[in-house]
Every structure is written in C-alpha cells, then in structure tokens.
Amino acid sequence: MSKKKKTAPVEKIRLSGRNIYMDKKGRVIFYDMITKKGYLVGKQNENSAVFFKNRFAVILFAAILLGGTLLSGLQALIAWAVMMVLAEFVFRMSFLKKLEPVTDVDFERRVSALQYIVENKEKGRVIALAVLYLLLAVLVVANAYVEKYSIGLCIFSGCIALVGVYFAVLHIIALTKMK
C-alpha cells in the first residue's frame, strides 16, 4: 500500500495590483519601488495591504468630499497634502516595518486585477460591479452637468467617469473569461 502525501491546499490569490507578485513558492510579495525591496504579505496583513495599496485614491476622495462639504478649495488641498504625508509616513514607518522583508524574491508572476477578479469573485458580483461602475460614470457626468460645474471640475468629473468605464470594461472582460 502506498501512502499519498498530503499537499497543502493552494491558497487563493488575495491581493492584486501593480506592486503585488506571487513567487514560485506561492507567497504574496509586495514590492516597494522606492526602497527596491520585497515584503511578504501574510493573511493577517491582507486588509491593511489593501488599504495602503489604495491609499492615494482613498485620500483623494476624502479631500474631494471635504472640499465639497466642509472646507474651501484651498483648505481641502491643504488637508489632502497633510493626509498624503501622514498616510505615507504610517505606510513606511508602521505597515512596512510589520512585514517580513524578502531577499530571495523571484518575481514569477504579477497578479493582475483581471486575474484576481476571474479567480476570486462570483459571476453575480462581477455583473453587479460592472453595472455599478457604469452607473458611477454616468452619474458623475450627470452631476457635473446638473450642478453646472466649472470647466476644471467638469474635466475632473470626466476623468472619474473614465475610471468608472475602465473598471466596468475590466469586469465585463473578466465575466467573459469566467467558467
């Protein structure tokens, strides 16, 4: 009788993006372009990694909300700059310090957003996200028109709409690649 070796179950890809790689050992590696170092991202650091990966977009939207509701444009710009510096400081001095540096990084493959969507999301959720991103694009442009935004804000709204269309198309392509 031969005994079969039990293999560890392959863990699904949890993160994706420009600086996220999977090496030959199946480890998730965050590569910091500034320090030129790789850092091992464990399951316990996954949520923090997602936030810090998206920190620039989160802070931009927070500054826009502050500028549209509580602060003047100049105050929102100053708040944005302060939040960017603080987020980068916390990222470098706190988050990266918690991660284990990896010296033997073998960048086998980058985890693309499309691959992440195909492998980790259900069809219903992908359809819903594609529709919601298209709605975002339409509503942002409609809001700019209804509110009679200045040329600068109209261009900015158009850029946000393009991002919405990009993510909608990305989800539609992922939907066609799903089994």
User: Residue 48 is part of which domain span?
Assistant: 13-111
Residue 31 sits in the same domain as residue 20: yes
Which residues lie below 8 Å from residue 24, measured CB to CB, with a gap of 6+?
106, 108
- Do residues 55 and 92 make contact, with C-beta atoms less than 8 angstroms apart? no
Task: Round to whole Å and give the CA distance between 70 and 62.
Answer: 11
63: tokens are 């500054």
The values of phi and psi at residue 88, to 5°, are -65, -40
- Parallel, antiparallel, or unpaired for β 20-22 and 37-40? unpaired
Residue 17 sits in the same domain as residue 73: yes
51: tokens are 């936030």
Task: Round to whole Å and give the CA distance between 56 and 87.
Answer: 9
Residue 26 sits in the same domain as residue 100: yes
User: What is the pLDDT at residue 8?
Assistant: 45
Residue 91 sits in the same domain as residue 170: no
User: What is the pLDDT at residue 171?
Assistant: 92
Residue 94 sits in the same domain as residue 121: no
- Do residues 13 and 27 make contact, with C-beta atoms less than 8 angstroms apart? no
Residue 102 sits in the same domain as residue 155: no
User: What is the pLDDT at residue 9?
Assistant: 44
Residue 100 sits in the same domain as residue 152: no
Task: Round to whole Å and give the CA distance between 61 and 84.
Answer: 12
Let me know how long the chain is. 179
User: What is the pLDDT at residue 34?
Assistant: 83
Domain count, the chain: 2
Q: What is the pLDDT along the chain (179 residues), one digit of tens a residue?
A: 444 444 444 455 567 667 777 777 777 888 888 888 888 888 888 888 888 888 888 888 787 777 777 777 788 888 889 999 999 999 888 888 888 888 766 666 666 778 778 877 788 889 999 999 999 999 989 988 888 877 877 888 888 899 999 999 999 999 998 87
pTM assigned to the model? 0.64
Give the relative orientation of helices 123-146 and 151-177 as an angle to the nearest 10 degrees. Answer: 170
